Structure 1
Amino acid sequence: MSNITGKPIETGIIGGSGIYAIDGFQLLEEKSISTSFGEPSDSYIIGELGGIRVAFLPRHGRNHHLLPSEINYRANIYGFKVLGVTSIIGITAVGSLQDEFPPLHLVIPDQLIDRTVSRKPTFFGQGIAAHIPFAEPFCPLLSKQIYDAATPVTPEISKGGTLVTIDGPAFSTRAESNLYRQWGGDLIGMTTYQEAKLAREAEICYAALAMVTDYDCWKEESADEVTVTTVVSNMHKNSANAQAILTGLLPQISTVKTCHCNKSLQGAIMTNPESIPDETLEKLRLLIEGTLNTPKG
């Protein structure tokens, strides 16, 4: 699908409402999309930067009124699929579980641990079973492109790390924080796991740019700093770097995919196509018609 001027929108960005306040960004339209999985967090903000079309989505709504577990992750990712997006960058605020990732550091994680219990983590079910490969939850190609764009902007950037996703909205207890450290966790946040998993099911490349805001509460001398005030303040300090990284990154995102993200449903669907209920088939047609070779209705 294309926007009003017919040019394709291939890149999506999920983040706070300030992320798209980039110098040189030309707003073209705001597009509301209703999906078969409900309503996304907000309208998609579609614009152009350096000749590249991009769609932004405020993860929590532009007034930040959605808790992490209230976000309709399925609708958000499905909406990007409707727009024709093939790569998504998730900008996310995280706490650090390790000394090597201090506040204001940027990290491109490569692994995830899911500690959420109250979310809908898949498009499938209701008569269709699919099991995607997810050993490497972030697109390696897109992650490298983010890192390459970030290194000229700031030396405070690291590639690799395990991000633990929790339900929230409260921050962790100290016992939980230390447990995640023992598991090998490097970062902690409240949103990334579902975005990465659903993007993989939708055969969209996904990578994250994590902005460290605090040391979580394991570091007792810094525990009092894990407050909304501190998090928001450090997010704002990091936003200028994030904007500069996106400015350099967008023209470099390859439309030729050498990764396997866009083939993740090949062999993943176990259900006989003839057994899939019509209602479920129609609901998932955009995601699976190329895999099942289902006729268009």
Structure 2
Amino acid sequence: MLYYKADIGVIGGSGLYELYPDVKKIDVDTPYGKTSDAISLVTVGDKKVAFMPRHGKDHTLNPSEINYRANIDAFAQLGIRALISPCCVGSLRPEIAPGDFVVTDQFINMTSGRKDTFNESPNVVHLSSADPYDPGLRQIALEEAEKLGIKTHDGGTVVVVNGPRFSTRAESRMFAMMGADVVNMTQYPEGYLCLEKGIPVVNIALITDYDAGLEGRPDIKPVQAEDVVRVLEDNNDRVKQLIFKMIERI
């Protein structure tokens, strides 16, 4: 039995490798192997918060190398009652611009080869994932983002690809035709595994780029890694501010 407990979990995406510099770090053993990194435990107000960098503290794991099952199992062992899952995404819509936030409400899985369920034989369970993100947490995120003056889009479909490469123009066009609004590399199976563990989860997507450019918009160029880094540096503080405001509310 795990000695430590936490109320809320936060899993940091690219550029978000810590919430506080001075924290207690613990390793959590799981039946699924090692987590991306040690979990940092910190008290925020009257809440115990557990934080883990999704890609490792030095960004050493590409999206398909992340042990999603171990990460979510570790949070479940800590007893968290909500998971805040920020990430970086590319936009497929001209009205969703770099620097905007999207509180997504749907995902489309285009990944392959990822271990994406805790329910393995003989424990076969068919779980609905019609509405993968928690509506109550989504509402808190939207309200607190508005108070902070952050341009935030209510709802959106994230299509999840293997990575680490960015999309071709044809793929980007296809994703938009499928009804996706943004592109990401990590939201699946992370969000779905939370459903299997009964952990309410919310995704806050920071728009860093326009994926492979937009159809009919020659002025919008395909994403380059340096573009993502620049937007991340400009917006990391806003992501943290929103997370802390949400923690107060949850």
What are the equivalent positions in structure 2 for 1:1-297 lying under 5 Å apart? 3=4, 8-16=5-13, 19=16, 22=19, 25=20, 27-219=22-214, 220-224=218-222, 226-253=223-250
Q: Over aligned residue pairs, what C-alpha RMSD do you find?
A: 1.6
Give the number of the structure whose alpha-carbon radius of gyration is greater: 1
In the comparison of the two structures, how many residue pairs are matched?
246
8 A Cα contact 1:73 1:195, kept in partner: yes
TM-score by length of 2: 0.93
8 Å CA contact 2:212–2:221 kept in 1: the answer is yes
Q: Deviations over 1:106-156 (max 9, x none)?
A: 010001100001201111113110011110011111111111111111241
Q: Structure 2, unaligned stretches of length 5 or more?
A: none
The 10-residue stretch of structure 1 (148-157 or 98-107) with the greater mean CA deviation from structure 2: 148-157
CA offsets 1:196-229 (integer angstroms, 9 cap, x no match): 10000000001100000001113243224x1111
Compared CA separation, residues 111 and 16, structure 1 to 2 (3 A): closer
Q: Alpha-carbon deviation of 1:26?
A: 7.7
Distance 2:47 2:81 in 1: 13
Q: Distance in 2 between matches of 1:209 and 1:54?
A: 17
Q: 2:44 is aligned with what amino acid?
A: L
Q: Which has the higher contact order (CA 8 A, sep 6+)?
A: 2
Partner Cα separation in structure 2 for residue 179 and residue 146 of structure 1 = 29
Which amino acid in structure 2 is aligned with residue 87 of structure 1? A
Percent sequence identity over matched residues? 36
- Whole-angstrom CA distance in 1 between matches of 2:145 and 2:132: 21
Shift of 1:188: 0.3
Contact 2:83 2:201 in 1 (8 A): yes
Gaps of 5+ in 1: 254-297
Q: Structure 1 CA distance, aligned partners of 2:171 and 2:191? A: 23
Given the superposition, is the C-alpha separation of residues 193 and 236 from structure 1 closer, same or farther in structure 2, using an over 3 Å criterion? Answer: same
TM-score (norm 1): 0.79
Conserved? CA contact 1:44–1:56, under 8 Å: yes
Distance between the aligned counterparts of 1:18 and 1:246, measured in 2?
A: 14
Matches of 2:164 and 2:16, distance apart in 1:
22
Q: Deviations over 1:50-77 (max 9, x none)?
A: 2321011100000101010000000000
Aligned to 1:277: none
Any idea what the Cα deviations from partners look like across 1:18-57, whole Å, max 9, x if unmatched? 54655xx584410101200111100001101223210111
CA distance in 2, matches of 1:158, 1:17: 20
Q: Is the 8 A contact 1:109 1:161 kept in 2?
A: yes
Contact 1:26 / 1:48 at 8 angstroms: preserved in 2? no
| Distance (whole Å) between structure 1 residues aligned to residue 80 and residue 119 of structure 2 | 20
